[in-house]
Every structure is written in structure tokens, then in C-alpha cells.
Amino acid sequence: MATKTSLGERQLPEAGTVSGREPIEAEVAAAEELQLFVSNRGDGFVSYLSQRSPTPVDLSSLQARDRSSEEDENEDEDLCNDDDELDSDDADVFSGVTASSAGRLSSSPGSDALDVTSGATPVQKLSWRASSGSLRTPKTGSIETPKHRVTGVGSNASDRWESERSATRKTPMSPARMKLATSARRIPQRYSMAAQYVSEVPDEMYAEVPLVAALITYAMYAVVIVLGYLRDALSKILKRRRYAMIKPQGCAPLLSDFEDFYTRRLYRRIEDCWSRPICSAPGAYIDVIERRFRTPKERELLLQKGILERWATKPPQLKPVELIREGTNEVIGWIPQAPFTAALTYTGRVKRCLNLSSYNYLGYGEVPGGVDASVLETLDRYGVATGAARESGCTAVLRELEQTVARFVGKPDAIVIGMGFATNSMIIPAIIGKGGLIISDELNHASIVAGARSSGARIRVFRHNDAKDLERVLRSAIAEGQPRSHRQWRRILVVVEGIYSMEGAICNLREIARVTRKYKAFLFVDEAHSIGALGERGRGVCEFTGVDPRDVDILMGTFTKSFGAVGGYVAASRELVAHLRRTAPGALYASTMSPACAKHILFAMRQISGEDGTDIGRRKLTQLRENSLYFRRRLLEMGLQTIGSTGSPVIPIMLYVPSVIAEFSRECLKRGLAVVVVGFPATPLILSRSRICISAAHSREDLDFALNVIEQVADLLKIRYLRK
């Protein structure tokens, strides 16, 4: 039975329960949060919580929403407004975004009192009297505070703690209650699944750099850099014509001196390992067009004849190169000749390779038997492309895709963007701006970095996948406020990824979501690599870690990895999605997704979810999971050092030494295996690696072939760092 309080008509939950938690668990959790949360700047967190939700909340509706996921459609009511600095449109955007706050702070105009409603908030059971001028807690004692009065209301009106009682009560929590307070949050029943599919904290493996590999790496870079600068110095004296510095008046240089030096002296030596041209769909196998370096005699001959100078002013008509499949005389196509200025030229041979380089997790990059008939019908009806979204780009197929995506990830609504990179770089500035704070994982993708920088918000970084460091950064940010003015942040946005593509690490989402709920920050999860690749049903990192999607405010993802298409999406509350449609440049001015691509994604999603009446999607998910576990286990048995999380389809093999990067890629290609190698500046200087991408399209025989090739190359290059 609900109890009325001095808060007017607001209803409190039944005695003994708080926000749907068990009585003791809720009480102890609130007490623990209070002790961890109170800092020397008590006014900082109170003002921040009050700006996060200054209006009263109907607790009965929140409880009903917690009991049933079908009531997400009723989240249109204003659950969370911003401060007075926001305009009316921006103030409505984040209403209902977070379902994690059952208790709220509210203030009445013209009064110096703040009231705390019941719920799992950090300030539950709190007494703050203007007469004493201090905040008292059971263990921390008194902390100086401004002259406001906060009245704490527990799960029952009779459970209020008065300042006189809290001043004398110093008994710490019992070990049993402390253990209960630090226990993990219970997984909602509808998101429970088999133990092998749930990982509270992913067992991420980190690189332990061998001392010998580190010394060799630094020595190699030192030798190449010293010799490179020496050659440049001598060439400027002996070959002035070729090394003249051209600086047009009023033009800024395109590259810094070191960037130009690194490109010429280091990258050019191994550039054949990147940007390899292909002439087939990126399926389980791929056709790679072979290239070779032009010999010094060839380049010198071109220089002597003046071909390079004439080509720079008037490019000649180049004869196309015939492409012949290796081992046969079959001509499968043509490709334009490489420019005379390029260091690489085409040989004309095409090599069929096993593909471990493409993001093709579920095998939709190459659909057996061709694309679905519905895709061709959509192409005939709508054409290849449409205009901007607000003009003619919002087709029925696109709207159907948005509704399907929202249902697939468990959110009320979604918006689809035509480009994956632009989904982050153009959506984040529409979510947060000046006066806001973005707290980003230190290994987040470049698209997140671009969007955060262009937003105008302050940016802080926390250690990779470290929830404790995130909590430290959040506490500091809330207590200190904005730089110089120390005003409260208008909004705090925590940004993480589901799978970090360069490390193969799975996000520690359960702990990160717990921290963001505790401090009432907004959580943005980039599921570009995890959606479709993780979870028993392919729902991404939320399903894999057992986190309720409602505990994540914004879910972003792309269709380029698991669905074999283009573009991305953002799934969130209806209010936020409506705001993005009105203000995000990627939704307003850019061309929308091709209707044919949208239909292909719909086909893939329905197959994954089983809506097409087949078990093809389920078998693909099972195959991807088994392939990933098998391949990682075999690599470790061979003594190769891998990093990342078990279950991730991205498996980096550590190479360390820069010369090994090129040779590993070249030797694998010779043996019919296409891999991706990564080095500085994409990775730290001594953490070069090969990034293996597993697909459901790979059979066990394919994986055994790849492992056999990698084992041969590992023996050749001496990279079995874990053999002992």
C-alpha cells in the first residue's frame, strides 16, 4: 500500500521495497552508494542530481515499467528535463531516456529546501539541516555544505533519519550487509540466459611485451629514423632538384615534417601490405589483385625520360591491365594502370585467398545464391539511391527498417544514417554540446573522437574498460563542475564500445552501466562490432553481458560488420530520436541509405531473429561463436600471443617487431591467406599486430587451413612468444 508524504500527491512504493529491489538489498545498496558518493563538494552532486531530474516523477508508473518491457511505448511523459539554460526543444529530448532513476530530487520555486523522493538514489536516507550547516552520514560524519535543507525519505515515511539521530549513530555495516551491498546486480528474468552466454566481466587478455621484442622494435625504429634523416640531409645537398621545398604563398602545409618523413621513409617500405585491391565480394574467400614494387631502374628510367614531369601536368591515357586468375588463363576483368608516380604497379594476376581480413561476422557480405528477390524488387521500385532525408529520402522501406532495428535491440525508436562513420561523428554533436561533458574510453574509435571534438563539449578519458577509473573520473567531474566557473555540467555522457575492434575486447558493460546509473550519467554504447556478433540471439553486448537495454540510454551500431551492408543506426527513446531527426546533420542534409541496402538489412535481421521461419540465423550465430572459440584456443596452443576477450570474433595476434608486420602479411598472402596487419600510428609503437576477423561463413576446414598457414609463418618469423 502506498504512503503519502509531504511531497504532495506523489506516491511512495510499498514498505520494505525500493524500486523493485529486495528490501535488505535496496537498503544496503543505498547506504553503500551514499558512503561512496559523498565527497568534500557535497553541493556538487546535489546540484547535478537536481538538474538531471528536477521534476517530480510518478513512482507507480516507473515500477510498472520495470515490471513489463512492453510499456516502453509509454515513455513519452517528461521523466528528465534539463536546466533553465536549455531551450524548450532540447529540454524535452532526454525525457524518458534513462529508466535507471527511481528516486528523484525536486525543488519548489521560492523555497530553499530540496526533497529526496524514495528510490535507489545515492542520497537515500539522508538528513541535511540548514541549522547545523553540515551533511551527516552513518560513517563519514559531517561535511560542510551550503545552506539548503534536504529531507531523506526511505521506503517508509517512518524511516526518516533526523540529524540528531544520525549524529550519534556511528555503527558500521555488518560484514554480511557489506557483502550484500557489493554483490552484483541481479539480471532481469527476461534477459537471463545460459551461463556460457553471460559474462559479468569479460576475461580480457592484455599484451605482455617480451623484453627482446621491445628492444628489437626500438632499435629498428631508431636505425630507420637516423638513416632516413641522414639520407634527407645529403639529398637536399646533392639532389636539390628532387628535394626542393615548395611553399606556395598563403598555403598551409598538408603534412607536418615528421608525417612526411614517416610516410616516405617508413610507410613506403611496406605499403604493399595495405590498401590491397580486390575484385570479388568479401565473403569467406576473396580475390586479391597482386601488386609489386617498381624497381629502382624502372623509376630512374621514368625520371630520365621526363615522363613523371609530363604526367604531373597532363596525365596520359593509360592502357588497362588484364586480370588473369592465378593458375588459369581466364581473363576475369580489367583494371586501370597504376600511375607512373606510384611506387606499386599491378602484375595482372588475381589470387584466390581465404579471407580473415573482412568484417563479415555472419557471412552476409556474400549471400549464397545471390541477393534476396525482395532486394531486387525494391531496387526496381525506388532506384539505386534517394535524396536527402527531409526531401525524398524517407521511404517506407527505411521507416520499416528503423522500426525493426528498434525492436531488435529493445528500444522504443531508432534512426538510420546512411554512413557508419557519420553515425558517430554527426550524431554525438546533436546529443551534447557546450556545457556538457563527454567521458570516453581511451581506446574508442576515431569516429567517436571526431564526434566528441566537434560537439564543443569537454572531453575526459578513463582507462580502457576500467569501471573503477570511470567512477573516479565521474566523481571528480561532478564535484568540481565546469572549469573556471565550477557550474554544474548540463549533461554528462559516457561513451564506450561493445567490441573494441583493434583489441578484440568486449565492453565491461555491467559494471560501467552500474556506475552510470549510480551517478545518473547518460550511457552511449557503440555496437558497431558487437551487434549481430555477440549474444545467443545476436542482440549484441547487452545480451552477452546480461544488461537490460533500458539501462543503456543510447545504443548505436552499424550495418557494415554483421549485416553486409552500409550505414548505421541510433536507438534510444522516442523523444531523443525525434530530436535527432530535427537537428542531426547526418539525418537532415546527408543522403539517406539506399532502399535496396535497407531491404537487404531487413532480410538479414529477419533471418537472424528467425522471423523468416528458418533456423539459418540461429545456425550462423552458433557457427560464429564456435569458430571464434576454436580459432583462439588453437592459436594459444601454438604459442602465439593473442589479446582481447574470449568469445570475440576479433582476434589480434601480437607481432611487435615492425619488420615482422610486412613479412607476416606477405608470407600469408603467398600461401593463400588474406590477413590485416596493423602498426604505428594506429597502435602504440611496440604493439603491432595482425587482426584476425572470424566469420560464420568459415568452415572448420577453412579454419584449419588458416591455422596451418599461420603456424608455418610463425615458425619462419619466430613469433611464438608463448611457447615456454
- Model confidence at 37: pLDDT above 50: no
Lowest mean pLDDT among 229-233, 540-544, 701-705: 229-233
pLDDT bracket for residue 324 (50, 70, 90): confident
pLDDT bracket for residue 428 (50, 70, 90): very high
- Model confidence at 91: pLDDT above 60: no
**CA neighbor of 710 nearest in space, from 648, 652, 646, 643:** 652
pLDDT bracket for residue 304 (50, 70, 90): low
Average pLDDT, the chain: 74
Report which of residues 591 and 503 the model is more confident about: 503
In percent, the amount of the chain with pLDDT more than 70 equals 66
pLDDT bracket for residue 368 (50, 70, 90): confident
Distance CA 189, CA 534 (A): 19
Q: Give the number of residues written for the chain.
A: 724
pLDDT of residue 514: 94
Report which of residues 455 and 242 the model is more confident about: 455
pLDDT tens string 470-512: 999 999 999 999 998 889 999 999 999 999 999 999 999 999 9
Q: Where in the chain is the domain with CATH 3.40.640.10?
A: 373-609
pLDDT bracket for residue 26 (50, 70, 90): very low
pLDDT of residue 19: 37
pLDDT of residue 548: 92
User: What are phi and psi for residue 211, nearest 5 degrees?
Assistant: -60, -40
Strongest mean pLDDT among 3-12, 232-241, 685-694: 685-694
Q: What is the mean pLDDT of residues 152-181?
A: 36
pLDDT bracket for residue 332 (50, 70, 90): confident
- Model confidence at 74: pLDDT above 60: no
pLDDT of residue 307: 57
- Model confidence at 451: pLDDT above 90: yes
- Model confidence at 64: pLDDT above 70: no
**Run of H or E including 439:** strand 436-441
The answer to whether 60 and 2 have CB atoms below 8 angstroms apart is: yes
Dihedral sign from CA coordinates of 555, 556, 559, 562:
negative
pLDDT bracket for residue 588 (50, 70, 90): confident
Strands (E), 35-171: 105-107, 113-116, 127-129, 134-137, 141-144, 149-151
pLDDT of residue 260: 84
Report which of residues 181 and 701 the model is more confident about: 701
pLDDT bracket for residue 418 (50, 70, 90): confident
pLDDT of residue 439: 96
The answer to whether 327 and 708 have CB atoms below 8 angstroms apart is: no
Q: What is the mean pLDDT of residues 423-441?
A: 93
Report which of residues 237 and 638 the model is more confident about: 638
Distance CA 642, CA 687 (A): 11
pLDDT of residue 635: 94
β-pairing, 505-506 vs 499-500, is: antiparallel
In percent, the amount of the chain with pLDDT more than 90 equals 42
- Model confidence at 467: pLDDT above 60: yes
Which CATH number is 373-609 given? 3.40.640.10
DSSP code at position 218: H
Q: What is the mean pLDDT of residues 690-694?
A: 95
- Model confidence at 122: pLDDT above 90: no
pLDDT bracket for residue 638 (50, 70, 90): very high
Q: What is the mean pLDDT of residues 263-277?
A: 88
- Model confidence at 516: pLDDT above 90: yes
- Model confidence at 355: pLDDT above 80: yes
- Model confidence at 552: pLDDT above 80: yes
According to DSSP, the residues that pair with 415 across neighbouring strands are: 570
Lowest mean pLDDT among 211-225, 235-249, 508-522: 235-249
Q: How many CB atoms lie within 10 A of CB 347?
A: 15
pLDDT bracket for residue 608 (50, 70, 90): very high
Report which of residues 636 and 133 the model is more confident about: 636
Interior angle at CA 139, CA 136 and CA 141, nearest 5: 35
Q: What is the mean pLDDT of residues 559-582?
A: 92
pLDDT bracket for residue 193 (50, 70, 90): very low
- Model confidence at 51: pLDDT above 50: no
- Model confidence at 414: pLDDT above 70: yes
Q: How many CB atoms lie within 10 A of CB 110?
A: 5
pLDDT of residue 75: 40
pLDDT tens string 139-165: 333 333 333 333 333 333 333 333 333
What is the value of pTM for the model shown? 0.71
Helices (H), 266-410: 296-304, 307-313, 373-382, 396-409
pLDDT of residue 494: 96
pLDDT of residue 154: 32
Q: What is the mean pLDDT of residues 455-469?
A: 93
Tell me, rounded to whole angstroms, the distance of Cα 277 from its chain centroid. Answer: 28
Q: What is the mean pLDDT of residues 674-699?
A: 92
pLDDT bracket for residue 306 (50, 70, 90): low
**Per-residue buried b or exposed e for 569-593, using 16+ beta carbons within 10 Å of the residue's own CB:** bbbbbbbbbbbbbebbebbbebebb
pLDDT bracket for residue 366 (50, 70, 90): confident
Cell of 562: 554483421
- Model confidence at 50: pLDDT above 50: no
pLDDT tens string 523-549: 999 999 999 999 999 999 999 999 999
**Run of H or E including 348:** strand 344-355
- The CA-to-CA distance between both ends of the chain, in Å, stands at 66
